[in-house]
């Protein structure tokens, strides 16, 4: 099993979420986060003064999937989150040793 963590633009959340659900994603956690990458931030003006906003609002999606589904879900996220501009996001894939469903005690793939 693998955990997919995707940091994407907030404006793309609904598109990505709907596409994931349509393709069989059963569980998804969404968090509002702030961060920066290559984009670096944006320059804003307020009352004639410039200031830099270097931590931009983003959304983090987290899901644990079977090994064989990783590439499918990465493709779906990329296809639906991409704008072609800096700040589209990143996807991280990490191994998961165990999953336990709290309600039933099921473990592993059965807990997904």
Q: Domains of the chain: which residue ranges?
A: 2-111
Residue where the block lists tokens 């099921």: 106
Q: What is the pLDDT of residues 75-99, one digit of tens each?
A: 999 999 999 998 899 999 999 999 9
**Average pLDDT score over residue span 105-111:** 92
Determine the average pLDDT of the residues in 44-70. 89
CATH of domain 2-111: 3.30.70.120
Whole-number Å distance between alpha carbons of 107 and 102: 9
Residue 55 tokens, joined: 């931590």
Say what the pTM is: 0.85
The mean pLDDT of the chain is 92
Query: Which residues neighbour 13 within 8 Å (Cβ) at sequence distance 6 or greater?
Result: 30, 59, 61
Other Cβ atoms closer than 10 A to 29: 10
């Amino acid at each position: 099993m693998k955990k997919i963590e995707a940091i994407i633009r907030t404006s793309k959340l609904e598109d990505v979420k709907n596409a994931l659900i349509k393709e069989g994603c059963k569980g998804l956690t969404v968090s509002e986060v702030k961060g920066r990458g290559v984009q670096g931030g944006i320059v804003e003006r307020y009352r004639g003064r410039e200031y830099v906003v270097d931590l931009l609002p983003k959304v983090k999606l987290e899901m644990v999937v079977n090994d064989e589904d990783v590439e499918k879900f990465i493709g779906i996220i990329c296809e639906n989150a991409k704008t072609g501009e800096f700040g589209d996001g990143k996807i991280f894939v990490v191994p998961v040793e165990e999953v336990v469903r709290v309600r039933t005690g099921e473990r592993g793939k059965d807990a997904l």
